[in-house]
Amino acid sequence: MKKLNPQRLQVGDIILTSGPGKVSKAVRRMTKSEISHAMVYVQHSSLIDATAHGVHSSNLQRLFLEDDAIVVALRHRTPLSEEVIRQVTDFVRAATGTEYSKKEAMAVVARTMRRAGSRKQFCSRLAAQAYAFAGISLVPDPDYCSPEDLRTSTHLVEIPDVELPASNQEVAFWEARANTLVAMSEATNAVLKAARKRSDSIQSLNDIIGYLLAHPEEDRHLRRAYERSGYLTVWQLELAKSGWQYHLELMRAAIERDPAGAPSMEEYCRELLGDPEGGRRFEINYLGYLELANRTGLSTFRVLAELYARLMALHQMRVEAARAWLAENAGNRQKPG
């Protein structure tokens, strides 16, 4: 097995892969390509893509590929500003939960007649539309393009040396570890399924905001959708799984049990402190939902504001623990030998 090297990637990169499944083989055969899927790198170790389950996040650390799988990482030919990259990543994040359009994806593969694109997504459309949203045309038609169209775009260049070997122990470790992103994806889909019973125009979670403002009488239904789905409590799974990230004492205990993990702990702390986007997103969502709750008095907005207040506090706990650990171990790193 092999994996991608996060040290070679930058936010906004597009990652193309192939897979062993029948759909992947059909896409590659019909597009005369070695690749069949596209993902957008949105944060350290975080990807967003469109699959049959919709648009959701995944963890790069859990992405293991067969040795013979094709992997291509692409980056814009000229360096892009932080604002442009932020627009790209904001677009794909805002699409979270959007349904997958198998029909439109197959229209690209089969090169059949195409109508105006819907708001549903498929993998290469998501990547191309994200860049188009930021004012960058990677392909002639962002609504209908294949992974191969992205690969051959003159605006993108391939990043070399992005692969690393993955040990059996590493694969087994992540397979045995609870995946809270899967739980979040399932909860998101459950919320949207309930919301779409009221309006089939709803695609993403952001669409619920506009619908609720226009139909405040649906407040109870949508609040209960969030509550019953588990969306409001997924953070508890993460806290139970990785409690050491939030407390210096638990970080110390983890290294005492396994001193060889000190370099990885330092890498984790530095990556966390070097990524301001996590805290920024929580704060933006908190302030947005708080303003909506105060303005409308709707309980759905209130519980979402409370959720993001909790996530902000938890993120701050992680930041403070990481800073403390780095400060405490600065002397050890400076010792010779």
pLDDT tens-place string over residues 121-138: 999 999 999 999 999 999
**Residue 336's pLDDT band (boundaries 50, 70, 90)?**
very low
Question: Do 282 and 312 meet the contact criterion of CB atoms below 8 Å apart?
Answer: yes
Q: Is the pLDDT of residue 96 over 90?
A: yes
**Is residue 317 helix, strand or coil?**
helix
Backbone angles phi, psi at 41, to 5 degrees: -85, 115
Sheet with 46-51, strands from edge to edge, namely 54-59, 46-51, 37-43, 14-17, 71-76, 156-158
Q: Is the pLDDT of residue 283 over 60?
A: yes
The residue assigned the tokens 């966390």 is 272
Residue 22: the pLDDT is 61
Region 58-86: what's the mean pLDDT? 92
**Is residue 17 helix, strand or coil?**
strand
**Residue 24's pLDDT band (boundaries 50, 70, 90)?**
low
For 147, the token pair is 């992974």
For 250, the token pair is 């638990």
**Residue 30's pLDDT band (boundaries 50, 70, 90)?**
low
CA–CA dist 195, 202 (Å, integer): 7
**Is residue 42 helix, strand or coil?**
strand
Q: Is the pLDDT of residue 337 over 50?
A: no
Taking CA atoms, 239 is separated from 21, 186, 318, in Å, by 34, 18, 11
Region 18-29: what's the mean pLDDT? 65
Vertex 43, ends 42 and 46: CA angle to 5°? 80
Q: Is the pLDDT of residue 87 over 50?
A: yes
Residue 23: the pLDDT is 61
CA–CA dist 198, 193 (Å, integer): 9
Question: Do 128 and 144 meet the contact criterion of CB atoms below 8 Å apart?
Answer: no
- Neighbour count for residue 133 (Cβ, 10 Å): 16
Backbone angles phi, psi at 189, to 5 degrees: -65, -35
Q: Is the pLDDT of residue 329 over 50?
A: yes
Residue 61: the pLDDT is 83
Question: pTM for the complete prediction?
Answer: 0.87
- Highest mean pLDDT (candidates 98-102, 126-130, 172-176): 126-130
Instruction: Calculate the average pLDDT of the chain.
Output: 89
